[in-house]
Amino acid sequence: MRITKFLPEVAREMRKVSWPKRRELFRYTVVVLTTVVFMALFFTVVDLGFSELIRLILE
């Protein structure tokens, strides 16, 4: 497919996309950020726990 045909088809398809409303986008953003923070804290605690366990075993 040639680029001159591809780009107009992309533009046509983009007009069909159902974009989220501002409120939905805000909610999704909050969910993603909350999940990322939770996972970062979780893995930090797990990492510290394993580090301490290894330290106790090696001493």
* pLDDT tens profile 10-34: 999 999 999 999 999 999 999 999 9
The model's confidence at residue 8, banded by pLDDT at 50, 70 and 90, is very high
26 alpha carbon, distance to own chain's centre? 14
pTM score of the predicted model: 0.66
Residues 11-20, buried b or exposed e (16+ Cβ, 10 A)?
eeeeeeeeee
